[in-house]
Structures are given as structure tokens and as C-alpha cells.
């Protein structure tokens, strides 16, 4: 199992939109997340700062991420979520962070 931590920044005027989208997330988006072997996926927000945590329990992360990117429903979802992000030093979108500590 691999753990991922990712940071991102929202446009200040898109914070409410991003919260609302995730409060009403589409079932087929969740099904695709599960199908791509992602588990225990949480997104936290403080102001415009986002942090995502998830665990990957498959054996082909790049392949599963491509499968997700090829899914038409996920593409529709991203059409709505990606405009919420601010281009910034952290990155255009969710950017992997380095795990420096773990304790079970």
C-alpha cells in the first residue's frame, strides 16, 4: 500500500464552488475512484489551501491514473473542479508531497 499526500490552492472566489461540488459528488466519480484502487480518500481545506490524502492498494498506479483520466464521467467532473484551482508555486493542480513521517 502506498500513501499519498497532495497539496493544492483554490482561487479565492471558487472556494464555495469547490466545497459544494464535493458535498454533492457524483456516484460514478466515487465508483471510478474505487475501481482505480484508491482507498480512504479525504480532502481537507483551510481557506484556499487544499490537502488530499489517499491510499493506493493496486499494483499499477500510473495505469490506474490513466484509466481514471480516460473515464468520460471523470472528465466531466474535472471540467467542473479544475477551474477552481489557482495556478501557483505549489503547482497547477494537486501536487504530490513527500512523506517524512509515518506511524501506524
- DSSP letter at 14 equals G
How far is 93 from 83, CA to CA, in rounded Å? 10
**By the rule CB under 8 A, 90 interacts with a copy of itself:** yes
Contact criterion met (CB below 8 Å) for 14 and 84: yes
Binding part of the chain for a copy of itself, among 1-9, 58-66, 67-75 by CB under 8 A, reads 1-9
**Residue 30 or 69 having the CB closest to a copy of itself:** 30
Q: Which of 2, 22, 80, 82 binds a copy of itself (CB under 8 A)?
A: 22
Map residue 19 onto helix, strand or coil.
helix
Q: Distance from CA of residue 25 to its chain's centroid?
A: 12
Q: How many CB atoms lie within 10 A of CB 68?
A: 17
User: Interface mask (CB under 8 A) for a copy of itself, residues 38-57, using x and -?
Assistant: xxxxxxxxxx-x-x-x----
**By the rule CB under 8 A, 100 interacts with a copy of itself:** yes
CB of 96 to a copy of itself, least distance (A): 8
Amino acid at each position: 500500500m502506498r500513501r499519498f499526500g497532495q497539496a493544492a490552492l483554490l482561487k479565492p472566489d471558487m472556494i464555495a464552488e469547490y466545497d459544494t461540488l464535493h458535498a454533492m459528488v457524483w456516484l460514478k466519480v466515487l465508483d471510478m475512484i474505487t475501481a482505480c484502487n484508491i482507498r480512504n480518500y479525504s480532502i481537507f481545506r483551510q481557506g484556499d489551501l487544499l490537502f488530499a490524502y489517499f491510499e493506493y492498494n493496486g499494483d499499477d498506479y500510473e495505469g490506474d491514473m490513466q484509466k481514471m483520466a480516460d473515464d468520460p464521467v471523470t472528465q466531466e467532473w474535472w471540467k467542473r473542479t479544475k477551474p477552481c484551482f489557482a495556478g501557483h508555486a505549489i503547482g497547477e493542480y494537486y501536487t504530490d508531497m513527500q512523506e517524512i513521517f509515518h506511524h501506524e
